[in-house]
Amino acid sequence: MIRLLALLLAAILAGLVYGEVHLPLSAIRQWDGAAELLIGVIRAPRVAVAVLAGAAFGLAGALLQSLLRNPLASPDVLGFTSGAGLGAMLVVALGGGAFSVTLGAASGGVLAALAITALSWKGGIVPLRMILVGIGAAFTLQAITQFMMTRLTEAEAVEAARWLSGSLAARHWGHAFQIGLCLALLLPLAALSLRALRLLELGDEVATGLGLHITRARAGIAALAVALVASAVAVAGPVPFVALLAGPLAARFGAPMLTGAAVVGAVVTVLADLAARGLIDGVQLPLGVMTGILGAPYLLWMLSREMERGRL
């Protein structure tokens, strides 16, 4: 865990210091006008949003993966993220402000989660059915989102396209404050859900025997994950794969399940954003393209492993 926190600190520093415009160390030390503008106004809020949104994605992924006992069950694979993206996009198209975009993302996420759960229901939640339905639903939701974009003016469409691929360009302190507030409300609930998860992982019968109301606990944890995804989508767009990668990567570091996934989510997002804006000279790629490059091979590897084990 200490290694992960050190990594996060290093990633944050790198995110502040490196960028398209090179800033000599002497300028940073003197904190002149250029440093103030580049770091204080442009990069710091961007890195802050990356840390907070990445942590929210990572946490949401770990919650769902643990709830459904399947490493594929992250909100992006299950289609929740696409639902939140569509909801937010509709509000953006209608000209809503920051608060209503968050609400739009939350409603989209909740509706997608309910629809996907209902469509895959077979006398209860069957994780693999839910994953397959979710993958299909994600494509459908993205198609609807694309269709909605044709209804926008060209300028709006360009802006929407950039946002939909998951981007941290032009984030300001207002965005950081917004996701910070959401996390301040949701993190205590995540701490509470940890105890329920520890019982649920012993199986439904043992958990019931130990006095857990399993249906209520499941619904609560799923709702929490959707709320976390919606908060992150509202400020960073539907960034793919961070939620999927964070939990398993944290486990590889031997870090505690939820806090580890939050820190890894933050590290991955900050580093991916750094790569997105610095990898190709003069080109600012959206963050989502970078996490896609990282995450897609991992998803393929996971799918083939699950198939080999005969679980898919």
Partner 1 sequence: MRLQAKGIDVAYDGRRVIEGLDLTIPDGKVTAIIGPNGCGKSTLLKTLARLIRPTKGQVLLDGQDIHAAHTRDVARKLGLLPQSPLAPEGITVADLIARGRAPWRSLLGRWSPADTAARDAALAATALEDLADRPIAALSGGQRQRAWIAMALAQDTPILLLDEPTTYLDLPHQVDLLRLLGRLNREQGRTVVSVLHDLGLAARFSDHVIVMSGGKVLAEGPPSEVITASTLATAFGLEAVVIPDPIANTPLVVPV
Residues that bind partner 1 (CB under 8 A): 192, 195, 198-199, 201-203, 205-206, 208-213
DSSP code at position 212: -
Question: What values do phi and psi take at 126, rounded to 5?
Answer: -110, 105
CA dist 50 and 76 (Å) reads: 17
Q: Closest separation between CB of residue 78 and partner 1, Å?
A: 21
Q: Closest separation between CB of residue 255 and partner 1, Å?
A: 13
CA dist 109 and 233 (Å) reads: 10
Q: Tell whether the torsion through CA atoms of 227, 241, 62 and 144 is positive or negative.
A: positive
Q: Give whichever of 199 and 266 is closer to partner 1, judged by the CB atom.
A: 199
Q: Give whichever of 36 and 201 is closer to partner 1, judged by the CB atom.
A: 201
Q: Closest separation between CB of residue 212 and partner 1, Å?
A: 7
DSSP code at position 78: T
Q: Give whichever of 137 and 212 is closer to partner 1, judged by the CB atom.
A: 212
DSSP code at position 280: S
Q: Closest separation between CB of residue 213 and partner 1, Å?
A: 6
CA dist 19 and 22 (Å) reads: 6
Q: Closest separation between CB of residue 62 and partner 1, Å?
A: 14
Q: What are 199's two structure tokens?
A: 């019982």
Contact 278/46 with Cβ under 8 angstroms? no
Q: Give whichever of 52 and 261 is closer to partner 1, judged by the CB atom.
A: 261
Q: What is the DSSP string of 6-54?
A: HHHHHHHHHHHH-SSS---HHHHHHT-HHHIIIIIIIIHHHHHHHHHHH
Q: Give whichever of 61 and 71 is closer to partner 1, judged by the CB atom.
A: 71
Question: What values do phi and psi take at 162, rounded to 5?
Answer: -65, -45
Q: Give whichever of 192 and 280 is closer to partner 1, judged by the CB atom.
A: 192
Q: Closest separation between CB of residue 136 and partner 1, Å?
A: 28
